[in-house]
Structure 1
């Protein structure tokens, strides 16, 4: 079964023409030109940013009987556009899962629940069968592998792939989405997983 087509989200103002591709010209100011922040400072600063945790799953043979599924843990998942409905994530170019995701026509984003830190760790580990027990999963629309117990499943058709630094940026057009509203999401902060507790309104 193919993933259902997304419904029209309505008319929205489209952005103006983008600037010319490539790095922006350096501006005058206090930032040293041509210098990069140290890797340690970069990691520490970005580690201060709390992020949601997803597992991106795909199967190059999905829709054709199914094959060997692939999956990665990602904290770079974000929305891109409402019209058309686009999302994106980054994957390391050296990842062993990259060829499977690259060759798949579609992929699923599994938004992890706050009790799924074990799944997040498994799908970030190397040299392991990430879909073997205790991972619980099933196949959804178009044969996409979906993790049981996730906060949400976002099913996407591949829209674009761009090389950015030492990563690939993968953009997907959302064809179907479903949410378990009673479940809270998993959060990643300073190399640790945790839950999210909303503040009570004043």
Structure 2
């Protein structure tokens, strides 16, 4: 089902380019979602990560339905959310690329307590059990039940803004 609403100013439908341009001004945090499928590590970069609920502890992210990684990631019995630090733009880029071994050097990782790959030097890890998925437009909404949460460093987060990775700079305290 396609929903097309006219732009209130022009009366024309909102184009994908207009929509992308408007969303680009919104900064978002960057995570890498990892899992193990058939004995092999899989993972992808997500900028749509969000907390959903405290009770139960739920998080979510969206993945493009055309993703070649999603079928393997979605079949896993658990996954890890690796919350990236401000100096990990190269890692985020690597996990967003197609046709590369994302887990080869220089990626540093270890198997987590349930087997999902945990990336080294990230700000935090969340180990999640699949809770719910839903097709939403051209993406899949993935909700995970957090089974374990570990903070490794409260440094600055990696952000995604206007098609580029960047760092957060806090305003001076007032």
Name the TM-score, length of structure 2 as normaliser. Answer: 0.92
Gaps of 5+ in 2: none
Q: CA deviation at 1:180?
A: 2.1
Matches within 5 A, 1:168-183: 168-183=140-155
**Alignment match, 1:58:** 35
The alignment partner of 1:69 has SS state of strand
Q: Specify which of 121, 125, 134 is matched with residue 93 of structure 2.
A: 121
Q: Which runs of 5+ in 1 are unaligned?
A: 1-21, 62-66
Higher strand share: 2
RMSD: 2.1
> TM-score normalized by structure 1?
0.79
- Alpha-carbon distance between aligned partners in 2 of 1:50 and 1:94, rounded to the nearest angstrom: 24
Matched, 1:94 2:66: yes
Residue in 1 that maps onto 2:15:
38
Matched, 1:69 2:9: no
SS at match of 1:149: coil
1:139 is matched with 111
Moved over 6 A (4+): none
In the superposition, relative to structure 1, how do residues 35 and 172 fare at CA in structure 2: closer, same or farther (>3 Å)? farther
1:188 to 160, 166, 169: 160
Rate the CA distance shift 1:36–1:59 in 2: closer, same or farther, 3 A. farther
1:106 aligns to 2:78 (yes or no): yes
Query: Which of these two proteins has the greater Rg computed from alpha carbons?
Result: 1
Aligned residues: 171
